[in-house]
Every structure is written in C-alpha cells, then in structure tokens.
Structure 1
Amino acid sequence: MDNTMNTEMDIFTIISHGGNAKSIAYEGLEAAHKGEFEEADKLIEDAHKELNEAHKTQTKLIQAEINGTVFEKSLLMIHAQDHLMTSISEISLIEQMIKLLKKMDSLTK
C-alpha cells in the first residue's frame, strides 16, 4: 500500500471517528432531555473515546509532517480537520447543555 493510500485511510479514520463522536454526543443530549442522565453521561464518555481515536490519527499525521513527510494539500484532509474541529466544538456545547438540563431537573424536584 503506497503512502497516499495510507494517508487517505487515516483521513477517513478521522472523519469516521469524528462523525461517530458527534452522533453519540447528540444521543446523549436526547437522553438528557428524557431525564436519563446516567445514560447521557455514558454516551458523552463514549463520544470522547471516539474523539480520542480521531485525535490519535490526527496526531500521527502531524508528527509525520513535523518529521519531514510532505502531504499533498487535499480537500479531503481539510474536510477531515473541519469535521473533527466541529465535532469537538459541538460536544463541548452539548456537555454544557446536559449540565443545564441536570440543574433544571434538580430545581424541579
């Protein structure tokens, strides 16, 4: 397998895990809306595991570039980075929303 193919697989790994993380986090938000806070917390933890996998691959590519590997500029790579960054941002906001829902729930009891 040539270097281009490996890079493309890494890019798709970032996209896949980033997308999974975001989807799982939204499932957590839905659980929180139903008052299922333990499930919401578990799903957020799972979302972070997915983010960690994406981040590991991103770090591998960054380290390769630091060590002299030259990557072609690629729309796919830009998309992967955008996808990961957006997932990280949305998950941070979802975590804050879940905290608010927990607080609201505690005030109504």
Structure 2
Amino acid sequence: MNLEPEIFSIISNGGDARAIAYEALQLAYEKKFDLSKKKMCEAHNILNKAHNTQTKLIQAELNNEQIDMSLLLVHAQDHLMTAISEMSLIEQIIKILERINDLEQRINLEGR
C-alpha cells in the first residue's frame, strides 16, 4: 500500500487546521468572537479530514494490510496530535477571552 498520499494528507490537513485555529485566536484577541467561532468551525472541518485519513490507515492495519512504519508516518501522527492538542487549548483561551470581554463590558457599564 502506497501511504505517501495519506501521510501528506494528514500532515497538510493537520497543519492547515492548526494554522486556522491560530487565526481564530487572533480574531478573539481582536474581540471578533463571531468570526473567531466560524474560523474554529473551519479548523475542525479540516482537522476531521486528517482524522478520517488516520482512521482509514488504522482500519487498513486492522484488516491485516501491511502498514510500514516510517519516520514520515510518525511525523504525520505527531502533526495531527499536536493540532488536536493546540486546538483544544485555543478553544479554552477563546472562552477565557470571551469571559474577560464580558467582564470588561460589565465594569464599563457600572462605571458610568
């Protein structure tokens, strides 16, 4: 089984999802929370493509297809797991930024 297309798909989609999640974080810092949420949805859709490719490889191995372990495959797995972890953290940071924004608005309203 030629794994290179699948491996590069995981790397590419994982990297794209991670980059878009950081765009979402930047939008949240700019208090553009609606746009930030849309970007995170986009990031998750792309991440799902990488995850589906990973699942395809796992299923192939479970069906006794020969999956040769390579440094490139390990790199793809690392890329995917890093994207998943960072996206989870970014989602939490965005929630914190929304909370800070809400509190700032309350303080400003009370101070008037």
Q: TM bucket by the smaller chain?
A: over 0.9
Tell me what 2:44 maps to. Answer: 48
Percent of matched pairs sharing the same residue: 53
Return the offset for 1:50. 0.7
Task: Report how many residues are paired.
Answer: 105
Match of 2:71 among 75, 88, 96: 75
User: Which residue identity lines up with residue 101 of structure 2 in the other structure?
Assistant: D
CA shift at 1:73, angstroms? 1.5
DSSP-derived class of the 1:108 partner: helix
Q: Deviations over 1:20-76 (max 9, x none)?
A: 000000000000000000000000000000110001100000000000011112000
Alignment pair present for 1:26 and 2:22: yes
Q: Does 1:102 align with 2:98?
A: yes
Alignment partner of 2:80 out of 54, 78, 84: 84
One-letter amino acid matched to 2:72: L
Structure 1 regions of 5+ residues with no counterpart?
none
The structure 1 segments of at least 4 consecutive aligned residues displaced by more than 4 Å after TM superposition are none
| Structure 2 residue runs without a partner (length 5+) | 106-112
